[in-house]
Structure 1
Amino acid sequence: MMEIAIIIILALGSLLMLLGAIGLIRFPDIFMRMHAATKAPSLGAMLMLLGFVLYFTTWAIVVKAILIIVFIFITTPVASHAIGATAHHLKIKKWDRMKIDDLEEDKNK
């Protein structure tokens, strides 16, 4: 029974990483691509590490997996914000149907 749960968790993690990769290819501008490259793969990596922890239940693996998850969830938003702010500062072309630009509104105040 535990093996089935591990397989499901690993499959969901893999699916989320695949969806992030597809979004990276299919989305029209850097801001949406950045979102696809950070949200889904972070959760996918967390699920895959959780599956490894459930399969290999040693303290060393549990500690390493927790440290990796914490590292991913700390660095991913910071990197995403830096990429988005740089793209906005360099005036990288946005999707033509984008209607709201909060950074531009803050800059004009």
Structure 2
Amino acid sequence: MEIVIIILLLLGSLLMLLGAIGLVRFPDIFMRMHAGTKAPSLGSMLMLIASALYFGTLSIFIEVLIIIAIIFITTPVGSHAIGTTAHRLKLKKWERMKIDDLERDENM
């Protein structure tokens, strides 16, 4: 069981690290937003599951499920709000971006 916990913690940490690297390396806010939501959400889920397995009580497991649900509900909502605001403020996009579906939908 300890090996599984260690693997979950390492994978969670690696995903959070990759998300942080993406925040620094990606060229515009839309790509950074993706890096700041997808990988850290999954990474935190893996780390929370590892803590639930480590402590092994029903109350901790229920708390972990509630925290995971909150993360997976609030992260996309916040990301969508940031992306919509960035688009409406006409923030600079990556120069190689060819398709902007939101702009196309607004012009219809």
Q: Percent sequence identity over matched residues?
A: 73
- Amino acid across the alignment from 1:73: F
Q: What do residues 9-66 of structure 1 show as CA deviations (whole Å, max 9, x unaligned)?
A: 1100000000000000000000000000000000000000010011110112111100
Q: How far, CA to CA, are the matches of 1:39 and 1:78 in structure 2?
A: 12
Shift of 1:107: 0.9
Partner of 2:56: 57
Within 2, Cα distance between the matches of 1:11 and 1:53? 15
Q: Which runs of 4+ in 1 moved over 3 A?
A: none
Aligned pairs (5 A) from 1:61-72: 61-72=60-71
1:36 counterpart residue number: 35
SS for the counterpart of 2:40 is helix
Alignment of 1:79-98 (within 5 A): 79-98=78-97
Gaps of 5+ in 1: none
TM-score (norm 2): 0.99
Cα distance between partner residues in 2 of 1:62 and 1:8: 18
Unaligned runs of 5+ in 2: none
Q: Distance in 1 between matches of 2:57 and 2:85?
A: 42
Query: How many Å separate the matches in 2 of 1:62 and 1:85?
Result: 35
- C-alpha distance in structure 2 between counterparts of 1:9 and 1:59, whole Å: 19
Letter in 1 for 2:33: M
Instruction: Give the equivalent residue in structure 2 for 1:18.
Output: 17
Cα RMSD (Å) of the superposition? 0.5
